[in-house]
Amino acid sequence: MSRLIELMGGKVPQRSLRYLDRLPYVVSYEIEENQTLLGVDFGGSLSAYIIQTHASKRAKPIEVNIYDISENFAGTTKGKVQFGDGTDADEFAVTDDFVDAALTTTLGSKHYSSAAGTLNIGDTEIIQPADYVTVTCVANVTSATGIARVSVSFMYFD
């Protein structure tokens, strides 16, 4: 199917439209603490957010973006983002630890992805349809600081 679309120069023949829902696609979710704070306060405490995956598609976490930093990240241990199942915090995936020098208001953003090897697979790589995923923004500890916007992306497929 995807090769057919490529050969047709991006135009989808009418007879092929019914098969488009079989193609993989990516959905990004914006993580926010509340309406007054756009983003996540990593320095506050562990912040967990629940995402329910698509009802009939399997999923795989593929990307985390930390951006629009309004407070520099610091602490004696580094922060990270984990994808869990509610009982195991990093069941599906976990980012590399945040490097303080790379997460400042002047530098602006950080990208973690499965393709680059910076979003690491947990115990289970694939999330089953209609599953709940707990995305936990793990705080730095000991004088922890860091406020930024966070988006996570999942690839959905049959």
Tell me the Ramachandran region of residue 116: left when phi exceeds 0, alpha when psi lies from -120 to 50, beta otherwise: alpha
41, β-bridge pairs: 147
Q: By three-state DSSP, how is residue 65 classified? A: strand
- Provide the token pair at 83: 């994808």
Question: CA angle, corner 48, sides to 109 and 108, nearest 5?
Answer: 10
Domains in the chain (CATH in brackets) are 24-157 (2.60.120)
Q: What is the pLDDT of residue 1?
A: 46
Tens-place pLDDT, residues 98-135: 766 566 776 667 888 999 999 999 999 999 999 999 99
Model confidence at 30: pLDDT above 70: yes
Kindly report, residue by residue over 46-72, the tens digit of the pLDDT. 678 999 999 999 999 999 998 888 888
